[in-house]
Structure 1
Amino acid sequence: MFILADDMGYGDMSHTGGKAATPHCDWLAAEGMRFTDAHTSSSVCTPTRYGILTGRYNWRSTLKKGVLSGFKPPLIKEHRLTVADYLKNQGYKTAMIGKWHLGIGWQNLPKGKKVSPRKNLVDHPKAKPGIGKGWNVDFTKPIIGPASFGFDSFWGVGASLDMPPYVYLENDRVLGTPDICNSFNRRPGPATEDFDASLSLIKLAQKSRQFIAQQSADKPFFLYLPLTSPHTPVSPSKKWQGKSSIGPYGDFLMETDWVVGEVLSELQHQGLSENTMVIFTADNGCSPDADIDDLQSKGHFPNAPWRGAKSDIFEGGHRVPFIVRWPAQIKAGSLSDSTICTTDFFATAADATGALSEIPANTAEDSFSFLSELTASGKTQRLTTIHHSSSGYFAIRKGDWKLVLCAHSGGRGFPHIDRDKEAIKDLPLIQLYNMKDDPKEEHNLHDKNPETVHKLITILTKEIKDGRITNGPVQANDGYPPFESDIIERFPELNFTKK
């Protein structure tokens, strides 16, 4: 079981210093292994989700920066094997319940046809104009979604709860036909009238418990549970409103933790806890939209001591909570400081089923098994980790060293590439940090360690060109990642467009 929180920082849980009570995540950590140096492959969600399901770095896909909207086509190519496909081939029953955000294949109405909303419920002051003109998607037709990428069943939403269309999906169909225009933030679009963002977690918990209750101890299953929280809209249900001391965001964290408790309780009730691997992590760090300054003024540091937040190349953008519980195999209360990445789930799941060697050469190219960490029989074979920001900037980590290939945050944080030009103009082109001595990334050592910079650039170049970081034959990227001219001028080997 893979539970993925949405925009949840390393410091958001009470066992890592958070001020909102998260007893079920704390319980999970107490009974399993907690990784202190776990990273997402990107500092935003669509790319990270791609990496989790494919075991491949997101920037190797056609999406070189940013995220998909709710109407974009699938990012995963039809021929690419996902971890759900792989486990299904191993005899697992596979299900996804929650937020997809990897693109949906919608069918459109005949050219020139549009559906006009019968009601407009949009009242957000920042809502985009022109919302009442209707849409040309035929919501009565089947979709291409999770059920097309290895999942036997799917129930959930196509993208974030603040991205249209505001509908629930089941397998390859929309539940209900959207006929109104609504918005749960500043993005208006088609919606069904019964769609309520504040009820999302309740529904996901119910559907997850129902799925688990249908399983048996002699039939393996895989449940992928990507939650919709605590991403915006920060909308805890009525039961959880006012429960924390730090405001609605804290309430939402507590409700997120409640969902974890619900699925753990159902596993226990069905006698499935002992031999079920449960992973809990997040798709990136806490978002600036959570008003991090306000949370910190209340003693809650959502991204712990790390610099930056969601979208950034700094640690706060991609260092996330990562807990694994598997009572039959993992010693309770274990701690690992090994560097792992969310792309490693594919290989780890294959290893746990005894089928690691059967992964094809063109599959899970950036995935290393950390099963030996879990069972205390060895260490992960991951030597390097490539980080990627929302705006497409790169960093590479090897051991204690992290090389950042930009002078700014790479995302929405300070220094911002456009907003903080005065600050950036006096900064070096690249950043090099010793993460052991300087975990807050405060002291740029690039000028004192040119050999280290050169070694990391050489490794990065090879790992991009090879189309993989695992051993095996060279694979093709879906286009090379673009580097800015000043970086190419300094490191010409990163000019992959040169003939």
Structure 2
Amino acid sequence: MRFVALLLLLSATPNVFAATSHEKPNVIIFFMDDMGYGDCRAYNPESKVTLPNIESLCANGIRFTDAHSPSAVCAPSRYSVMTGNYPWRGRLENGTWMFHQRSQILDGQTTLGQLMKHAGYHTAFLGKVHLGGTVYSKTTRKPVTWKFDFHDIDFSRKWKDGPSDLGFDFTYSLPQGIQGSPYIAFRNGMLDGAPEDLIEWEPGIYGSSEIPTKGFGFKHWNSSEAGPQLISEATAFIDRHVKDHVDTPFFMHYCTESCHVPHTPPKTLAGKDIKGAAGDAHLDMIYEADIQLGILVDHLKTHGLLKNTLILFASDNGGLARGKPGNHRLDHNSNAPLRGSKATVWEGGHRVPLIARWGDGTQPGSTIAQAVTSSALVGLQDIFATLAELTGQTLDPKHDGLDSQSFLPALLQQDSSRLRHELLIQANDGDGWGQKLAKAFRENQWKLITTKERKPLHLFNLHEDLAEKHDLIESGDQKHRVAMMLSGLASILDSERSTPIFQTVHKPIPDHNTTEHRKASLDRKISSEELFQPARTFTMKPTNIPEGVRVEKTRSGAWRIQGKAPFTISFTPKNSTPWNASSYRLLGLPVCNKNPGVTTVSARLNNSKPLGWGRHCVGSVVALDEEHATVGFVFPITAPQYDGPDIFKDQLGKPNGHRHHWRQFFPADIVSIVLD
């Protein structure tokens, strides 16, 4: 006898694309800087700025009301969106802010650019970066140190570890946006200009431009022209794509300069007055970004690309404060109806607009339903797994999107069982000596706020108290909840991966005319293209639990089983209705052995009227300690051709090798799974 501890979850891979029969869509991430939940009337009817293109995006797509930036400030969030990881999995917990700091992205961590490039996309990055990088000294030929003379930077060499090294075919990068030095741009990793045109800038206002902090940059730098230049580069990329890559989808990560300080809106854009149009310079900048979005949408229409382009609109953190509560400039609260603002642990610091559109504006031509609101809990790092699922890719469990969970089911209004229920957010409140990292942990509607050291500070029920006015941390009947949530927080912070690794891939309906499929059909085999398709989870409940065996469900949805082996335990459908796996080719039972040593798991799926030697499907796995493994159940969709005696047409095939024939198994009638 030995003690066994297992984690398991039943999932399936189907033979149809559950999302859509479309070809791979083009994808644009339109990533705002410092736009708050209350800046747009689609989220806050009291907003004082009109944003017609953002509001049109909502009217023609889905609006998420419980989406969050992984951090309440910029740089950590940008790392998380780029990698699908929580900020603290990068080089620095608080992010990498300077263009010559070592990259925030560690070796082996996959980026969005690499993910989409691997899926066959033509990729582009435009705008603010804030992920670090490396530039070299002319004198030493080594990376420059923290303090450097810009005259000594060798701009004949590429900006190492910038976006052009992160899987993007085309890049136009503003390393610090417009908020700080260097006031330059890199095109495909190279300085977009002559080194002779670099000067040292002093803080100040220079016509329509503003230099907020001392540093070097181009002598012709104008912060008010950054946005118009970005959108010009974006439309030019689309033009080149249509000309040279017409048979390839494109992916664009577009990071606006708006609406971070300095607030220097252009006078006009696309023939529309911008400066002075919305009431003050801050709101003018938000309006400018809205016009940029409209230019992109119109350009997609012009090229006939809008119908099959997925646009994801979001912001890197909460909005600016605009004054004290109750006394906001122009009576515009960028974070209404939430408490707090950028950098804070309150909802206003990290609850952000997230809008998705995929379609041409008509109901028949839209993959995403129009004018839909979703309350699904989403972290912006979830974009990574969502695009992986959308493009049919399997994530490396040790390197890819370690904290990313696909929200594609929410986009397409499908099975909600795979959406997340837990989320970790970090805040960076300034305290005069830097930034202190408070944490917020979500579990469904509950929000627990802790110190960096995990000391509980506040507890809120956001379904009843979105404004976070009623702190329940001292409530006696919530002590158990606080303890459980602290345990959940710890499990994420101490994890190597916080999201499921077996629920990943959506793939299009396979082309049955391909050489691979025809050959597989002739060989009476299942092609690999058909085998690995979208994951779905089947919910179950334990039955016939042996004495001395403990079974409990974890927060991730997996079942933890502990007891002395050998023993047998059964699981049945949660709602007592047989599982229907008739659309699937493979059922998998992921297993993680949490005990030292080796554990063998034998399993069988039973039909409602099993025979001793038929009408069930078997599988087994040997699980090493702390290793993930999967019990696989493979069965045919249709009865295979069989030339042997009739008696074996309904036979399982003895495990000892006596007979190995496909038996008649009914995947639409699975009533239990038994584990030995």
Contact 1:132 1:181 in 2 (8 A): no
Counterpart pick for 2:115 among 86, 97, 108: 86
Contact 1:284 1:317 in 2 (8 A): yes
Going from structure 1 to structure 2, the CA distance change for 1:57 and 1:66 (only over 3 Å counts) comes to closer
Report what 2:283 is aligned to: 250
Going from structure 1 to structure 2, the CA distance change for 1:137 and 1:205 (only over 3 Å counts) comes to same
Contact 2:437 2:451 in 1 (8 A): no
> How far off is 1:362 after superposition?
2.0
> How far off is 1:360 after superposition?
4.3
Measured in 2, the distance between the counterparts of 1:293 and 1:256 equals 26
Contact 2:79 2:95 in 1 (8 A): no
Q: Does 1:14 align with 2:51?
A: no
Report what 2:14 is aligned to: none
Amino acid paired to 1:195: W
Describe the SS at the equivalent of 2:248: coil
> How far off is 1:296 after superposition?
2.5
- The 5-angstrom pairing of residues 405-444 of structure 1 reads 405-406=450-451, 430-444=457-471
> How far off is 1:185 after superposition?
4.3
- The 5-angstrom pairing of residues 6-85 of structure 1 reads 6-16=33-43, 17=45, 18-65=47-94, 67-85=96-114
Q: Does 1:147 align with 2:152?
A: no
Instruction: Give TM-score, length-normalised by structure 2.
Output: 0.62
Describe the SS at the equivalent of 2:172: strand
Q: Does 1:206 align with 2:240?
A: no
Amino acid paired to 2:178: L
Measured in 2, the distance between the counterparts of 1:242 and 1:294 equals 24
- The 5-angstrom pairing of residues 230-245 of structure 1 reads 230-239=259-268, 240-245=274-279
Contact 1:102 1:159 in 2 (8 A): no
Measured in 2, the distance between the counterparts of 1:12 and 1:374 equals 23
> How far off is 1:259 after superposition?
0.5
Q: Deviations over 1:192-249 (max 9, x none)?
A: 111111001100111111112223463111000011110011110112111113x111
Q: Does 1:277 align with 2:303?
A: no
Measured in 2, the distance between the counterparts of 1:330 and 1:354 equals 18
Measured in 2, the distance between the counterparts of 1:209 and 1:294 equals 41
- The 5-angstrom pairing of residues 84-483 of structure 1 reads 84-111=113-140, 136-144=152-160, 145-176=162-193, 177=195, 178-182=197-201, 183=203, 184-216=210-242, 218-239=247-268, 240-245=274-279, 247-288=280-321, 290-291=322-323, 296-327=328-359, 328-355=366-393, 357-379=394-416, 380-390=418-428, 391-406=436-451, 430-448=457-475, 449-472=478-501
> How far off is 1:297 after superposition?
4.5
The share of aligned pairs that are identical, in percent, is: 31
Q: Deviations over 1:357-413 (max 9, x none)?
A: 344432101111111111111224212000101232211000111110149xx9xxx
Measured in 2, the distance between the counterparts of 1:272 and 1:303 equals 34
Report what 1:420 is aligned to: none
Measured in 1, the distance between the counterparts of 2:306 and 2:104 equals 34
- Which has the higher mean CA deviation after the structures are superposed, 145-154 or 60-69? 60-69
> How far off is 1:83 after superposition?
1.7
> How far off is 1:93 after superposition?
0.6
Amino acid paired to 2:222: D
- Which has the higher mean CA deviation after the structures are superposed, 377-386 or 445-454? 377-386
> How far off is 1:105 after superposition?
1.1
Report what 1:490 is aligned to: none
Alignment RMSD (CA, Å): 2.5
Measured in 2, the distance between the counterparts of 1:83 and 1:65 equals 20
Describe the SS at the equivalent of 2:460: strand
Structure 1 gap segments, 5+ residues each: 116-130, 411-427, 474-499
Measured in 2, the distance between the counterparts of 1:10 and 1:306 equals 8
Measured in 1, the distance between the counterparts of 2:97 and 2:126 equals 19
Amino acid paired to 2:443: K
Going from structure 1 to structure 2, the CA distance change for 1:388 and 1:159 (only over 3 Å counts) comes to same
Measured in 1, the distance between the counterparts of 2:367 and 2:141 equals 59
Going from structure 1 to structure 2, the CA distance change for 1:133 and 1:325 (only over 3 Å counts) comes to closer
Amino acid paired to 1:261: G
Describe the SS at the equivalent of 2:377: strand
> How far off is 1:62 after superposition?
2.4
Measured in 2, the distance between the counterparts of 1:329 and 1:358 equals 24
Q: Which has the higher helix share?
A: 1
Describe the SS at the equivalent of 2:35: coil
- Which has the higher mean CA deviation after the structures are superposed, 364-373 or 63-72? 63-72
> How far off is 1:65 after superposition?
2.2
Amino acid paired to 1:242: G
Contact 1:37 1:337 in 2 (8 A): yes
Highest CA radius of gyration, 1 or 2? Answer: 2
Amino acid paired to 2:71: S
> How far off is 1:257 after superposition?
0.5
Measured in 2, the distance between the counterparts of 1:35 and 1:226 equals 20
> How far off is 1:350 after superposition?
1.1
Contact 2:120 2:249 in 1 (8 A): yes
Measured in 2, the distance between the counterparts of 1:302 and 1:358 equals 37
Describe the SS at the equivalent of 1:364: coil
Amino acid paired to 1:264: V
Measured in 2, the distance between the counterparts of 1:200 and 1:218 equals 31
Describe the SS at the equivalent of 1:274: helix
Contact 2:320 2:334 in 1 (8 A): no
Structure 2 gap segments, 5+ residues each: 1-27, 204-209, 269-273, 360-365, 429-435, 503-676
- Which has the higher mean CA deviation after the structures are superposed, 384-393 or 71-80? 71-80
Contact 1:156 1:204 in 2 (8 A): no
Contact 2:102 2:134 in 1 (8 A): yes
Q: How many residues align?
A: 436
Measured in 1, the distance between the counterparts of 2:141 and 2:248 equals 49
Going from structure 1 to structure 2, the CA distance change for 1:254 and 1:301 (only over 3 Å counts) comes to same
Measured in 2, the distance between the counterparts of 1:211 and 1:33 equals 27
